[in-house]
Amino acid sequence: MSIFRAAVAAADPHDAVRRHLAWEDGAVVVTQEDGRATRVPVAPHGKVWVVGAGKGSAPMAAAVEGVLGDRIAGGLVCVKDGHGLPLERVEVVEASHPVPDARGVAAGRRILGIVRAAEAGDVVVSVLSGGGSALLAAPAEGIGLDHVQEVTRLLLSSGAAIGELNAVRKHLSQVKGGYLAAAAHPARVVNLVLSDVIGDRLDVIASGPFSPDPTTFEDAKEVLVRREVWDRVPEPVRRHLEAGVRGEVPDTPKPGDPRVEGVIHAIVGSNRKSLEAAASAARELGYAPLVLTSRMEGEAREVARVLAAVACEVREAGNPLAAPACILAGGETTVTIRGDGKGGRNQELALALALALEGWEGVVGLSGGTDGTDGPGGIATPTTARRGRDQGLDPEAFLRNNDSYRYLEAVGDLLVTGPTRTNVMDVQVLLVAP
């Protein structure tokens, strides 16, 4: 837990923004990941607007207020229920996640209005974090909220990766896929991003409202076909995407579009940075750390078996490093829903890991979401499965029914932290004794 908490602390959105943003001689100064500082001047009578969405956008906006103060004319950020904070100059509203609701639609339309009103000489500061795709919702003409909700549910239950989900979302929206950048032009835009996607792709994080979109209407349709849900999505969605494929609806802004190319982006926090902090905490506790990857993806139960195999190899053969060891991984797995149980990807991974560790000694694991609320996580020990069987529970049956939450709760291995107001995907921590 100490190692996991270190990973979460490294993604603190308030501190992350303060490390990357400053005000100097009439300009917003942005420090990017490579250390370069970029000045974005505000005209003498210009205004600064703050907009954003995501689980961490409220503390991010609070940090922007701390840096820019009364230079901010106003703004709006939309956060997940329970993630709000009182701010002085930026309004914070809450909405549903991961399936959008009417509040998210209203927030998306209001944010679109704010950036459209920005003028040449103004600066729009965007604060985006994980969850922004669902929270920043303004469906395209002819698409209803209920249509977007149904498409989101179908893709989530099909095991679609975040990039696939967002390719579809962008083509059903007025604000995603670079549309907000286009609406803000010619005002300058500073886009501060807490990454919750593998590879830190700006076009995928929160569905890239201020980033050029390399995906097309054809890509969006292909995702729905490949995930075998095309015939089940609402008819207006199919009509809209087909019209886009035929060129009857303009596609999202693409790389090279001057309306989006002038945006200044900075990744202020990421899974990789959190894993580095976790490795440092493990080292201080006497474990030799090994960061396997920050790009972990795939079915949660399959990933669990791979992680267990690595940990058991360390335990048995001291390969690829000697114990005491801490094996770390990060990313975002998926779950293809086959049952009617309760449990997110981290609990499913933890239960599958526990089954893979049964019969071993000296190996324990944790899988947790850094956001603290999206199926927060679980602990896996060599006795997790046996302790359930002692209560008359069948861990394999719970796993088949996607009911990992209830199983881990029954045996006392559920990980619940509550909202952390950040989100840099998931972290897995495995400890191996000598």
Residue type, 387: R
pLDDT of residue 374: 65
**294-309 pLDDT, tens per residue?**
999 999 999 999 999 9
DSSP 244-271: HHTTSSPPPP-TT-HHHHT-EEEEEE-H
Nearest residue to 123 (alpha-carbon basis) of 169, 63, 189: 189
Phi first, then psi, for residue 322 (nearest 5°) are: -85, 145
**266-278 pLDDT, tens per residue?**
999 999 999 999 9
**376-393 pLDDT, tens per residue?**
799 999 999 999 999 999
Domain spans, the chain? 11-138+173-215+252-269, 272-432
Please give the Cα distance from 380 to 355 (Å, whole number). Answer: 8
Please give the Cα distance from 21 to 13 (Å, whole number). Answer: 12
Is there a contact between 280 and 2 (Cβ–Cβ < 8 Å)?
A: no
Is there a contact between 97 and 152 (Cβ–Cβ < 8 Å)?
A: no
How many angstroms separate the first and last alpha carbons of the chain?
Answer: 20
Is domain 11-138+173-215+252-269 in CATH 3.40.50.720, yes or no?
A: no
- What contacts 231, CB < 8 A, 6 or more positions away? none
Q: Bridge-partner residues for 415, per DSSP?
A: none
Nearest residue to 71 (alpha-carbon basis) of 23, 120, 130, 21: 23
**404-418 pLDDT, tens per residue?**
999 999 999 999 988
**93-108 pLDDT, tens per residue?**
999 998 889 999 999 9
What's the topology of domain 272-432? glycerate kinase, domain 1 (3.40.1480)
Please give the Cα distance from 50 to 65 (Å, whole number). Answer: 9
Please give the Cα distance from 333 to 329 (Å, whole number). Answer: 11
